[in-house]
Amino acid sequence: MNAIIQMIQNLSGKDEKQLLQLKKQLGTSQDIIMSSVEVLPSFLQQIEPAKHTMGYVFLLLPMGALAKTDEVVTLFVRLSVQFLVVCNSQQIRLIPAKFRQLCDLLTTKAIKAGLALSIIKPLQSCIWKVAPGDQVTPQHACFARAVLKAKAYKYALPVLDKYVYEVNPEMTGLKGEDVRLYFYYGGMIYTGLKQFQKALEFFEMVVSAPAIVGSKIMSEAYKKYILVSLIHFGEVKSLPKYTNPTVLRLFKVIAKPYEEFSTSYETRSVKDLHSCASNHSKEFLQDGNFGLVKQAIEALNKYSLCSLPPTSPSTDSSQNIQRLT
C-alpha cells in the first residue's frame, strides 16, 4: 500500500498522460487495495482529496463497499462528504464510472444510516464538476433521491428548476436508469411541494422516454402521472404522441386499479371514487400512493363545483348538493 500511496502522490498532477497512467495502475492494484480495506482510513489521511482526487476515489470506494460496522459507515459518509466538496473536476472526469459508483454508494449508505440530509449539499456541489450545466449526470439522481428521503424538498429546487437536456454517458458515466430515476424522484419532490404542473412534466419525461420495453420505474411514474393529473386537471391528460404505444399498453395493464380510478373520476361521484379506492386500497397502499388518491378525491369537489351551472332563484340549492355526491 505504501507504494500505491507514493504512486498517487507522484502522478496526481495536471498532466493528463500521468493521470491516465495513474488510472491504469490503480486499476491493476485493486486486489491489493481490497485486501487492505481495514487500514484504508489511515492511508487516506496520507493523501489530499483536492490534489489526489483520483487516488482518493479508488481507496474510498472499497472502504465504503466493504464497511461492516456503523462506525466505519459513518466515517465513510463523513470522508465522502468532505471529498465531494473539494474534489478536482479534471480528475473525476477521467473516472466517470468510478465516481458514479462512489456517489451511488454514498447515497445508499447515508440514507440507510439516517444521514440523507448531510449529503444533499455535497452532491449538489459536485453535479457541475462532472459535466457542464446542461448535462444530466448520475449525481442528479443521487441528489434527488437524498432530498426525497430527507424530505427537504426545497433544497432540490436550484437543481430541479435548471433545465437539463443533454446526455453524454462517456463523459459522465450516465446510464438510462439514472435519467429515469432523476425525473421520477424530481416528480415526487415537485408533488410533495404541490407544484403539480412541474411534477407532471417530470413524470411524463419518465413515461415517454424512448424504450423498447417498459421498466418498473416507468410504470411507477405512470401511476403517479394519473393521480397527479387528476389532482391538477380533474382528468388524465394524454401523453405525447411519441410515447411508445406498446409500452403504454403494458402500463395500462399494470396500472389497472389506477385506470379504473380514473374512469370513476369521470363520473364526478365521490361515492363511486370512495368505492373504487376501497376496492383497490391494497394496491394503492403497497405503491405508496394512497395519499395521492385521497388528494384526488378531495380535489373532485373543486372540479365538480366548476362544472355546475350558475344558480338562479328557481334553482333548488339542494339539487346542486346532490349532484356533488
pLDDT at 267 over 70: yes
| pLDDT of residue 256 exceeding 90 | yes
The answer on pLDDT for 199 being more than 50 is yes
Q: What is the pLDDT of residue 301?
A: 80
How far is the C-alpha of 325 from the C-alpha of 320, rounded, in Å? 9
Contact assessment for residue 143 and residue 120, using Cβ atoms and an 8 Å cutoff: yes
The DSSP secondary structure of 15-52, one letter per residue, reads -HHHHHHHHHHHHHTHHHHHHTGGGHHHHHTTS-TTTS
Q: pLDDT value at position 309?
A: 54
Give the model's pLDDT for residue 92. 96
Distance between CA atoms of residues 182 and 174, nearest Å = 11
H helices of 113-156, in order, are: 116-130, 138-150
List pLDDT tens digits, range 122-147: 999 999 899 888 899 999 999 999 99
What is the model's pLDDT at position 322? Answer: 34
The stretch 103-113 carries a mean pLDDT of 97
pLDDT score at 211 = 81
pLDDT over 90 at 149, yes or no:
yes
Least confident segment among 22-31, 209-218, 234-243, 248-257:
209-218
- Tell me what the pLDDT averaged over the chain comes to: 91
pLDDT at 175: 93
308 compared with 136, residue with greater pLDDT: 136
> Is the model's pLDDT at 323 over the cut of 60?
no
Per-residue pLDDT at 5 exceeds 80: yes
| Reported confidence tier of residue 121, pLDDT bands at 50, 70, 90 | very high
> Measured between alpha carbons, how far is 82 from 111 in angstroms, rounded to an integer?
17
Gap between the Cα atoms of 268 and 259, Å rounded: 15
Length of the chain: 325
Whether the predicted pLDDT of 223 surpasses 70: yes
> What's the predicted TM-score (pTM) here?
0.89
Q: What is the pLDDT of residue 10?
A: 93
Question: Mean pLDDT over residues 168-196, rounded?
Answer: 96
The number of beta carbons lying within 10 Å of the beta carbon of residue 241 is 7
pLDDT score of 154: 96
pLDDT band with cut points at 50, 70 and 90 for residue 306: low
Give the model's confidence band at 6: pLDDT under 50 very low, under 70 low, under 90 confident, else very high.
very high
